Chains A and B, each alone.
Chain A
Amino acid sequence: MKIEVLGMGCTNCNKLYQNAVEAVRLSGKEAEVVKVEDIQKIMSYGVMSTPALVIDGVVKVKGKVPKVEEIKELIK
């Protein structure tokens, strides 16, 4: 599973990244969490509000920081 955190390095993006890492750890899933900071790549997902969470190429959350619990639900 590939989890991408889209955002250009703002505080909320870092928070989302940490939540995603934590959610993966708690769920015990095999998943790679990466930050995507390149604007071209971010835009290719059609996202206009960051931070956003992309799981296996699908935009799941945008414009807010989901809690660890919510991310755990999403990657189940």
Chain B
Amino acid sequence: MDLDHLRIGLVMEETSPDARSLAQSFTDSRYFDVKVVRDRRELSEDMAKGNIRGFVVIPSYFSDFRNRPNKIAPIQVIADGSETNTANFVQFYAQGAFAQWLQEEAISSGLKGLPQIRMVSRVWYNEQLESRYFLLSGALAIIMTLIGTLLTALVISREWERGTMESMLSTPMTRGELIIGKVIPYFFLGLFSMAICVVISVLFYGLPFRGGYFVLLLVSSVFLFCSMGLGLMISTLAKQQMIAYQVALVTGFLPAYILSGFLFEIYSMPEWIQGITFLIPARYFVQSLQTLFLVGNVWPVILWDIGFMILIGFVFFAITVHKTVKRLE
């Protein structure tokens, strides 16, 4: 998701020194790969094909207008709105390159700058704004949801579908034992793949890990507990694997992907969807993971997340046990 080297076009309808110095500030920007042309018609096909994500037009009357007192020289920045997010970034970066140019012009023309406010930004936790840092923690949450919810969703419905459930129930095993026995292998499978993923992220992708490993183990176990609760509940309610699969997709996988806040900002969603996100275990897991990897053991955040996950998990397990018992009577 790191958006540097955006491909844009630059239409220079005139080549005065003014226009060239402005063009220079665009070609020098590390965010752009610029294709310079003389006529905007050369670019419209590139735009349609998506070869460039936008273009800047320096009009033929650019330096003429700049030198007249009552005119403002317009510079058009056209971005491809069909790639909405990228379009935003094209505009932001163009703004940045333009502001840079204005400053240099002011200095070289000896304008005494007015008192000006300057923005000094610092990015905490992820100084280079590497998107893989937060994408990886989201990916971990998705993999764990896959194992926790989707695989366990099929476990009991498979027994029902094959007709082996009745024979299981006729053994001296209690329901609790049955559920635990079914779930434990997946629990360890989940923890095992979590460990592999963390090692890969840290060693291979250079992700920092600033929290404690024990805390990570705790958070992952609680999340697994919670998502397996959901999987078991689905599998007990749906007696067919196909149905269990569909339901698990909609209630487990998709929310982990969309509503967990790893890709899309929760605050920007409509309020009723924000309400739903409180019920999504992945939301808490993603937040904890991001915090553990990039910040450290921030206990208020982590305890809050763990608390919510345990609560949700208990509700799922309670429903599962309740439903399993009913079936037998």
The yes or no verdict on A and B being binding partners is no
